[in-house]
């Protein structure tokens, strides 16, 4: 066990987040045998799974969970009692439940143990579930005790791994999932976001900003610039203070009309100018703001005017 703990924390300092998570589950298997594993996170109270690494099982495993997630007895047990390790053997009727018939049973999860904790820095529920495909291969009490200890260090090492990776970027940076939940962030990143987007951005990006970043575009507004790149199932987001950008009165007028849904010709008619003039103004506006779509233009105007 001591060797496992030392190896886990050592690996967190030199493996990338993608490499670390798979390596770590493989190391857990050396301590506790399993047929497949899930390492996920999200909003447990809402049953809102935001990210999951699934080892040796279908990547679409959670597709069938959506219909039964709110009545899954095992999920209720684990989410309602965080910080402990639980087995489905503690729910005698679990295999008779709809959640088992229509989800877990489809994947031969005859035996399962799971541990969940709430990450105090992000508010996310983080869990690791191990499964065996034989009803006869029950997890013993010693397995549960060992998993509790392993998972505690696994979560801590994963946190250190994310932060070490972010510090290597030498810029205010964060890792977030497709729902906009922030998994890890440097203090400088959090400070910039809270100062410009409000206190709620400490844990989750506004939906409009998150959508923009996942579409491959840069966010620019309120003196803040966010640039993102995909990192497996998450986004690596870098933040910077952007220099002041100002539009002339006519540029702002043209931009608002166009962003509100008017066509080039309709904007021209409203202002008594030619469509060519409107296009020239918009080209200059797009260049100044470093945006490339009407949606991004509307977002900038809303945040900055």
Domain with residue 160: its CATH number is: 3.30.450.80
At residue 71, the pLDDT reads: 95
pLDDT at 282 over 80: yes
How far apart (Å, rounded) are the C-alpha atoms in residues 244 and 171?
Answer: 20
Same domain for 196 and 142: no
Which domain does 256 fall in, by range?
A: 249-304
Pair 160, 11 in one domain? yes
Domain count, the chain: 3
pLDDT tens, position by position, 97-154: 999 999 999 999 999 999 999 998 888 999 999 999 998 899 999 999 999 999 999 9
At 305, the pLDDT band (50, 70, 90 cuts) reads low
pLDDT at 290 over 80: no
pLDDT number for residue 116: 97
Q: Which of 152, 167, 182 is the last residue of a domain?
A: 167
Angle at 53 between CA 211 and CA 103, to 5 degrees: 95
How much is the pLDDT for 87? 97
Q: 222, 241, 260 — which closes off a domain? A: 241
- In whole angstroms, what is the distance from residue 197 CA to residue 243 CA? 17
Residue burial 3-12, b: 16+ Cβ < 10 Å; e: rest:
ebbeebeebb
Same-domain pairing of 11 and 125: yes
- Do 59 and 140 belong together in one domain? yes
Q: 225 with 254, same domain?
A: no
Contact 183, 175 (CB under 8 A): yes
Out of 13-27, 32-46, 106-120, 280-294, least confident range:
280-294
Residues 208 and 283 in one domain: no
Domain CATH number, residue 258: 1.10.10.10
Residue 198 has pLDDT above 80, yes or no: yes
Q: What percent of the chain has pLDDT over 90?
A: 75
CA distance 220 to 138: 54
Helix (H, G, I), strand (E, B) or coil at 211: helix
- Do 25 and 137 belong together in one domain? yes
Q: Are residues 85 and 162 in the same domain?
A: yes
pLDDT tens, 36-85? 999 999 999 999 998 899 999 999 999 999 999 999 999 999 999 999 99
Percentages of the chain per state (helix, strand, coil), in multiples of 5: 50, 20, 30
- Let me know whether 85 and 222 are in one domain: no
Question: Which alpha helices (DSSP H) does the chain contain, by range?
Answer: 2-11, 17-31, 73-80, 98-102, 141-167, 187-197, 207-214, 249-259, 264-271, 275-289, 294-304
Question: In whole angstroms, what is the distance from residue 28 CA to residue 230 CA?
Answer: 27
> What is the DSSP pairing of strand 36-43 with strand 125-132?
antiparallel
Rounded to whole angstroms, the Cα distance separating 36 from 79 reads 20
Q: Are residues 121 and 154 in the same domain?
A: yes
User: What pLDDT was estimated at residue 295?
Assistant: 82
Q: Among 241, 269, 295, identify where a domain stops.
A: 241
Residues 9 and 124 reside in one and the same domain: yes
Q: Are residues 179 and 163 in the same domain?
A: no
Residue 221 has pLDDT above 80, yes or no: no
């Amino acid at each position: 066990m001591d060797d496992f703990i030392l190896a886990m924390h050592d690996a967190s300092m030199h493996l990338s987040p993608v490499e670390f998570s798979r390596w770590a589950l493989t190391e857990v298997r050396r301590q506790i045998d399993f047929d497949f594993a899930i390492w996920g996170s999200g909003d447990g109270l809402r049953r809102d799974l935001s990210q999951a690494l699934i080892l040796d099982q279908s990547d679409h495993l959670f597709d069938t969970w959506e219909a039964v997630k709110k009545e899954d007895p095992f999920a209720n047990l684990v989410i309602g009692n965080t910080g402990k390790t639980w087995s489905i053997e503690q729910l005698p009727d679990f295999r008779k439940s709809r959640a088992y018939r229509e989800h877990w049973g489809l994947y031969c999860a005859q035996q399962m143990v799971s541990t969940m904790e709430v990450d105090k820095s992000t508010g996310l529920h983080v869990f690791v579930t191990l499964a065996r495909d034989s009803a006869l291969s029950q997890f013993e009490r010693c397995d549960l005790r060992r998993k509790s200890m392993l998972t505690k260090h696994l979560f801590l090492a994963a946190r250190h791994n994310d932060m070490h990776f972010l510090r290597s970027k030498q810029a205010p940076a964060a890792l977030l999932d497709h729902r906009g939940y922030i998994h890890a962030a440097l203090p400088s990143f959090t400070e910039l976001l809270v100062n410009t987007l409000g206190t709620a951005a400490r844990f989750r990006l506004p939906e409009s900003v998150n959508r923009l970043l996942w579409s491959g575009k840069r966010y620019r507004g309120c003196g803040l610039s966010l640039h993102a790149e995909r990192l497996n199932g998450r986004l690596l987001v870098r933040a910077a203070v952007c220099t002041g950008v100002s539009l002339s009165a006519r540029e702002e007028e043209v931009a608002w009309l166009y962003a509100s849904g008017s066509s080039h010709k309709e904007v021209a008619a409203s202002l008594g100018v030619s469509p060519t003039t409107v296009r020239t103004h918009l080209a200059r506006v797009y260049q100044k703001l470093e945006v490339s779509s009407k949606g991004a233009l509307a977002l900038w105007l809303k945040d900055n005017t």
